[in-house]
Amino acid sequence: MKSEKELMLSGELYKALDDELFKDSRKSRRLTRLFNNSNEEDLEYRTDLLKQLFKSVGKNIYIEPPFRCDYGSNISIGDNFYSNYDCIILDVCDVNIGNNVLFAPRVSVFTAGHPIDAEVRNELLEFGKPITIGNNVWIGGNTVINPGVTIGNNVVIGSGSVITKDIPDNVIAVGNPCRVLRKITEEDKIYWNKKREEYYQNKK
């Protein structure tokens, strides 16, 4: 017989009111409370708390408090991750975030879902679906990422988007529901490389 935690992590219906899950949740709340109440000068301490909280972390991760998550232990983050204020990650299933990912303020990542049928839902049964975010992704403010979504590599998500379906590589996508606006092109690369050169010229 599977435990509630095993059912949860496998994407099956489960009940969150479970001793094992309560223990995991309590650990997450303690670590996030310590993190959110830490001083901005305690960067090493903050990083250590995140390493205790998450399943795995890469190099150079920085999260602006406040931050919230369900368990933390189902979140894997790559190198060079930055999240601005008020990030929420409901990680009842795996959340995998690649390298060089930027979150603007109030990005919400929700693996958690509830049955559409009210009778089943009222029995406190719920489920989760994993979320994957690729490398070199910038997600605009107030974006909601829904259960089961995969966001490809080299993607820009416009602010206020609600992502309900997978987003392919190398595109700009925006809206509710979020749709591909256009591909990221060689012209974009040329333009931004020129702007970068201007920046370094201005610094001389």
Contact 24, 3 (CB under 8 A): no
Token pair, residue 2, equals: 């599977």
Cα distance between residue 93 and residue 70, in whole Å: 10
* Tokens describing residue 115: 């049955």
Among the listed residues 107, 91, 100, 89, the one whose alpha carbon sits nearest the alpha carbon of residue 160: 107
Pairwise CA distance, residues 129 & 23, whole Å: 22
Whole-angstrom distance, CA of residue 41 vs CA of residue 28: 22
Catalytic residue among 68, 114, 129, 179: 114
Is 114 part of the annotated catalytic residue set?
A: yes
Alpha-carbon gap, residue 25 to 19, rounded angstroms: 10
At residue 103, φ and ψ (nearest 5 deg) are: -110, 125
Q: Which residues contact 128 (CB under 8 A, 6 or more apart)?
A: 8, 9, 11, 92, 93, 111, 112, 113, 147
Active site residues: 114
